[in-house]
């Protein structure tokens, strides 16, 4: 008796891992995350190198992309989708994956967490944005080496602040 793929049962594996003859890979959009299917954002090689917690020997010679999908465990993947790094293999917790976690950084260079932004008064929040802008203007940021997305955090910080502002307004109206 043989499996449907033709492997003898004594091969030691109940499920044959070899693709069946004539197997066709489903068409995949270019630069789409192999897990969630969303288009990734290109990141520089140095970002992946700086953020990985595993041996850099595991990197491929590829232009990696960053997956922003909250529910997807993949952080970086190669354009062909063959090679991936998950949240477990990255040194920092990733804001896009845990946007509601208080202790996760939203600004990795100047160490502002989601909780800092959420708890901040309007004035404090403005002061945090000022601090970030001042740091950027002073050339003190290193988003390509510290932020898993490999680019400036300001959009995320502003988005989070705006969402928080709306939430407070909504609560105010409800009262």
Which residue ranges make up the site for Zn ion (CB under 5 A)?
Answer: 33, 35-36, 67, 69, 72, 74
Between residues 70 and 168, which has the closer beta carbon with respect to Zn ion?
A: 70
CB of 75 to Zn ion, least distance (A): 8
Q: Least CB distance from residue 74 to Zn ion, whole Å?
A: 4
Cα 99 from Cα 96, distance rounded (Å) = 6
What does DSSP say about strands 65-66 and 74-77: parallel, antiparallel, or unpaired? Answer: antiparallel
Paired strand residues for 42: 65
Give CA–CA dist 35/84, Å, rounded. Answer: 9
Measured from the CB of residue 29, what is the shortest distance to Zn ion in angstroms? 12
CB of 37 to Zn ion, least distance (A): 7
Closer to Zn ion by CB, 72 or 90: give it. 72
Q: In degrees rounded to 5, what are phi and psi of residue 11?
A: -65, -15
CB of 38 to Zn ion, least distance (A): 6
CB of 99 or CB of 135, closer to Zn ion: 99
What are 50's two structure tokens? 């700086």
Nearer Cβ to Zn ion (64/117): 64
Torsion angle of C-alpha atoms 137, 143, 144, 149, degrees rounded to 10: -140
Return the SS3 of 75: strand
Q: Are 148 and 92 in contact (CB under 8 A)?
A: yes
Asked if residues 95 and 105 have their Cβ atoms less than 8 Å apart, the reply is: yes
Residue number with CB closer to Zn ion (41 or 158): 41
């Amino acid at each position: 008796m043989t499996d449907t793929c033709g492997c003898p049962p004594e091969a030691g594996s109940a499920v044959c891992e070899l693709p069946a003859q004539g197997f066709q890979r489903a068409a995949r959009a270019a630069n789409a995350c192999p897990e969630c299917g969303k288009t990734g954002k290109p990141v520089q090689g140095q970002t992946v190198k700086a953020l990985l917690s595993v041996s850099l020997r595991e990197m491929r010679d590829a232009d990696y992309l960053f997956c922003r999908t909250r529910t997807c465990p993949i952080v970086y993947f190669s354009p062909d989708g063959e090679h991936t790094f998950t949240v477990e293999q990255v040194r920092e917790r990733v804001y896009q994956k845990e946007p509601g976690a208080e202790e996760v950084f939203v600004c990795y260079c100047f160490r502002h967490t989601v909780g800092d932004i959420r708890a901040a008064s309007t004035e404090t929040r403005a002061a945090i944005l000022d601090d970030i802008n001042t740091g950027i203007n002073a050339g003190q940021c290193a988003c390509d080496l510290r932020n898993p997305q490999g680019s400036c955090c300001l959009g995320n910080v502003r988005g989070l602040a705006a969402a928080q502002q709306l939430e407070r307004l909504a609560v105010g109206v409800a009262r």
